[in-house]
Amino acid sequence: MVIGAVVALWAATLAAADENCLLQTFPPTQELQVEESTMADLVLDQPIACPEGFADFSYNWTGVAGFPNGGPLSNGQEIGPNIELVGFNETMGGPCIGAAIWNITNNDPASPGADTDLQTCPNNNVASAPFCNILVVQQDGSAAGKVNDCNPGGGFAQINLQFTVPITLIALNFWDIEQNDDLQIFWNSDGTPGNAFAPGTGGVDGTGSELFLNKEKVTTWSLRFTASGGVNGVRYCGTTTTTTPGGDVTGDPHIRTLDGNHYLLLNQGTFSLWRFSGQANVDWQIYTRYSGHQSFTKGLLLVDQSAKRFRRALEITAKDCKWRTRTEGNEWEVVQHPELFSGEGTALNLTRHHLRFFMNNKHDENDGHDGQREVAVLSFRCRPTHYMNLAIKMRRAEDVKFVEGELRSLVFLPFRRGCLDGCHFLPDLFVGLEH
C-alpha cells in the first residue's frame, strides 16, 4: 500500500532522532498592518445585544491554553476561546520583549522596575478566581518564566490578535491604564478599520476601567501600549465554538484528551494521535513520533485518505521544523506556507502555526471557504533541533464522535505497552519499527 510505505519510511527516518530540547518563545512576526483614522470611532457606553445563536461571553485570560497559570506567550498561540496571538512588535530599541499573561503567582518583584500596581487587581481577593490575569507587554530582565509589564519608554509596543471566526467585540477591561493615550486599540470590523483609546484613570495608580466597543464581525485587533498596564478582560459574543473540545500534547509528552483528561505517555514510537473519519468520505489521520530519553514529540505526519484513496501526506519534524508534502508518485517537497490544499470536498489550510481542516458544508452558513465549514484546527510550536508541542481544537462538539486516536478519550481498556484505547501502534503499517 502507498500509505503503508509513506508512514513506514517517515517513521523509520525519525527513529534515529534523539535530541534533548527546550521549547522557547518564538521570535515576533512582522507588524500587523492597521490603518489609523484621524479620530477615534464613536463607541457606546453599554453593551449591544448579541445576534441569535451567540452568547454574551466574558473572559479574563484564565486557563490560557498551555499556560494555565499565565506566563510568556508564543506567537500563534490560542490564548483564549477563539482568540489567537498572531504577533508582537515594538519601536526599535525598546525594552519590551513580547506578550505575556501576568498574575500574582508569576510576577517578578525582584526585577528592576517591577510594577506593584498590578497586584491590587481585585480578583486576587476573590476565592472563586484567586488570580487576576492581565494581558501585558513584558519587559526584559525578568527571571525565566516570570512576568512584569513593560513601559515602552517613548515608543510603543503592540500585541496583535485575531478571532478565529468573525465575532462581535463588546468591551475590554483594563488595569492600571493611567492616561487616555497609554493604550490604543485597533480593530477590523467587517473589513472596516477603526481605533479608540482606553479610558485613563487620571493618573490614579492600580485602578481599572472599561471601554465598550460594540463592533461586529471583528477579525483582527491590536493593543498598542505607550505605557505600562494591561487588559484584564475581554467581552464578546461567543459561539458554540467557545466551548468545543480541545486536546494537546506537550513536553515529554503530557497528553490532554478531548474530554479534558490527562495522562503521561511513557513509550517511544509512532502513534495515531487523531483521526477524523466517517463523514462525507473524509479521512484525515495524524501520526506523532515520540523519541529521545523522555519521549519528546519529534515528528508529525498527516495522511489524507479522503474519498477512499491516498491523496496527500504532510509532515513536519523537529530536525528543521519545515513542512513537507508529497502526493502519490511524487517526491517530498518543502511547503512554502501559507498554502491551501483542496479537492473533492475538503481543504487543508496551512499557515505559520496552524493547519485548518475544512469539509463540505451544504446546509449551514459559515465563514470558512466557499461551501465548506471548519472541522478542526491544529496548532503547533516547533523549534529546530528541539521538540514540538501540539494542540487540536474541534469546532463542533458533535464532531468528536468521529474522532479516534490518543486524543479521543481517556478510557482504561486493555492496552499494549501503556497505550490507551484509541491509541494505535498500527503494526501492519510500521514495518521494522520497535513497538
Query: pLDDT tens digits, residue range 52-83?
Result: 667 777 888 876 655 556 788 887 777 887 78
Output the pLDDT for position 269: 82
Q: Work out the average pLDDT over 189-206.
A: 89
* Cβ-based neighbour number of residue 384 at 10 Å: 12
Domain-ending residue, one of 220, 241, 262 = 241
Q: Work out the average pLDDT over 142-150.
A: 82
Domain-ending residue, one of 241, 269, 285 = 241
78 plus 206 within the same structural domain: yes
pLDDT band at 7, cuts 50/70/90? low
In this predicted structure, the answer to whether residue 394 has a pLDDT above a threshold of 70 is yes
| Within a domain: 101 | yes
Output the pLDDT for position 283: 93
Looking at per-residue pLDDT, the higher value among 115 and 196 belongs to 196
Output the pLDDT for position 206: 84
For residue 338, which phi and psi values (nearest 5 degrees)? -75, 150
Q: Work out the average pLDDT over 396-423.
A: 60
Output the pLDDT for position 282: 93
Exposure of 2 by Cβ count < 10 A (0-12 exposed, 13-18 middle, 19+ buried)?
middle
Number of domains in the chain: 2
Contact 312, 297 (CB under 8 A): no
| Within a domain: 392 | yes
Q: What is the mean pLDDT of the chain?
A: 75
In this predicted structure, the answer to whether residue 423 has a pLDDT above a threshold of 80 is no
176 plus 72 within the same structural domain: yes
Lowest mean pLDDT among 47-61, 135-149, 342-356: 47-61
pLDDT digits (tens, 9 = 90+) for 22-49: 222 223 333 333 333 333 333 445 677 7
Looking at per-residue pLDDT, the higher value among 249 and 425 belongs to 249
| Within a domain: 367 | yes
In this predicted structure, the answer to whether residue 50 has a pLDDT above a threshold of 50 is yes
| Within a domain: 145 | yes
For residue 5, which phi and psi values (nearest 5 degrees)? -65, -40
Range with top average pLDDT, 48-52, 177-181, 265-269: 177-181
Exposure of 209 by Cβ count < 10 A (0-12 exposed, 13-18 middle, 19+ buried)?
buried
Instruction: Kindly state the percentage of the chain with pLDDT values over 70.
Output: 74
307 plus 227 within the same structural domain: no
In this predicted structure, the answer to whether residue 372 has a pLDDT above a threshold of 90 is no
| Within a domain: 312 | yes
| Within a domain: 212 | yes
Looking at per-residue pLDDT, the higher value among 36 and 2 belongs to 2
Contact 226, 377 (CB under 8 A): no
d(CA 28, CA 95): 14
296 plus 384 within the same structural domain: yes
Domain-ending residue, one of 181, 207, 241 = 241
Output the pLDDT for position 6: 61
pLDDT band at 426, cuts 50/70/90? very low
- Write down the pTM of the prediction: 0.53
d(CA 138, CA 344): 46
Output the pLDDT for position 104: 81
pLDDT band at 371, cuts 50/70/90? low
Looking at per-residue pLDDT, the higher value among 165 and 34 belongs to 165
Instruction: Kindly state the percentage of the chain with pLDDT values over 90.
Output: 20
313 plus 220 within the same structural domain: no
Q: Work out the average pLDDT over 265-270.
A: 79
d(CA 391, CA 277): 19
pLDDT band at 396, cuts 50/70/90? confident
| Within a domain: 309 | yes
Lowest mean pLDDT among 99-108, 384-393, 407-416: 407-416
User: How is the beta sheet containing 262-264 ordered, strand by strand?
Assistant: 262-264, 254-256, 246-250, 388-394, 372-382, 354-360, 346-350, 339-343
Q: Work out the average pLDDT over 282-302.
A: 86
**Domain holding 231: CATH number?**
2.60.120
pLDDT band at 128, cuts 50/70/90? very low
259 plus 235 within the same structural domain: no
292 plus 228 within the same structural domain: no
For residue 14, which phi and psi values (nearest 5 degrees)? -80, -20
Exposure of 51 by Cβ count < 10 A (0-12 exposed, 13-18 middle, 19+ buried)?
exposed
| Within a domain: 410 | no
In this predicted structure, the answer to whether residue 343 has a pLDDT above a threshold of 80 is no
Output the pLDDT for position 177: 93
Which residue in 67, 349, 395 sits closest to 246, CA to CA? 395
221 plus 342 within the same structural domain: no
pLDDT band at 158, cuts 50/70/90? very high
111 plus 220 within the same structural domain: yes
305 plus 358 within the same structural domain: yes
pLDDT band at 296, cuts 50/70/90? confident
Single-letter residue type at 22: L
In this predicted structure, the answer to whether residue 111 has a pLDDT above a threshold of 90 is no
Contact 108, 99 (CB under 8 A): no
Q: State the residue range of the domain holding 394.
A: 7-23+251-404
Which residue in 180, 162, 169 sits closest to 213, CA to CA? 169
375 plus 396 within the same structural domain: yes
Contact 354, 378 (CB under 8 A): yes
> What's the 3-state SS for the chain?
CHHHHHHHHHHHHHCCCCCCCCCCCCCCCCCCCCCCCCCCCCCCCCCCCCCCCCEEEEECCCCECCECCCEECCCCCEEECCEEEEEEEECCCCCEEEEEEECCCCECCCCCCCCHHHHHCHHHHECCECCCCEEEEEECCCCCCCECECCCCCCCEEEEEEEEEEEEEEEEEEECCCCCCCEEEEEEECCEEEEEECCCCCCCCCCEEEEEEEEEEEEEEEEEECCCCEEEEEEEEECHHHHCCEEEEECCCEEECCCCCEEECCCCEEEEEEEEEEECCEEEEEEEEEECCCCEEEEEEEEECHHHCCCEEEEEECCCCCCEEECCCCCCEECCCCEEEEECCEEEEECCCEEEEEEECCCCCCCCCCCEEEEEEEEEEECCCCCEEEEEEECCHHHHHHEECCCCCCCCCCCECCECCCCCCCCCCCCCCCC
d(CA 129, CA 124): 7
pLDDT band at 144, cuts 50/70/90? confident
Q: Work out the average pLDDT over 265-281.
A: 85
Q: Work out the average pLDDT over 368-394.
A: 79
Contact 55, 238 (CB under 8 A): yes
Output the pLDDT for position 222: 96
263 plus 236 within the same structural domain: no
pLDDT band at 135, cuts 50/70/90? very high
Residue 302's contacts (CB-CB under 8 Å, 6 or more residues apart) are: 284, 285, 286, 287, 313, 314, 315, 348, 355
Lowest mean pLDDT among 138-142, 151-155, 280-284, 326-330: 138-142
Buried/exposed 330-363: b ≥16 CB within 10 Å, e otherwise? eeeeebeeeeebeeebbbbbbeebbbbbbbbbee
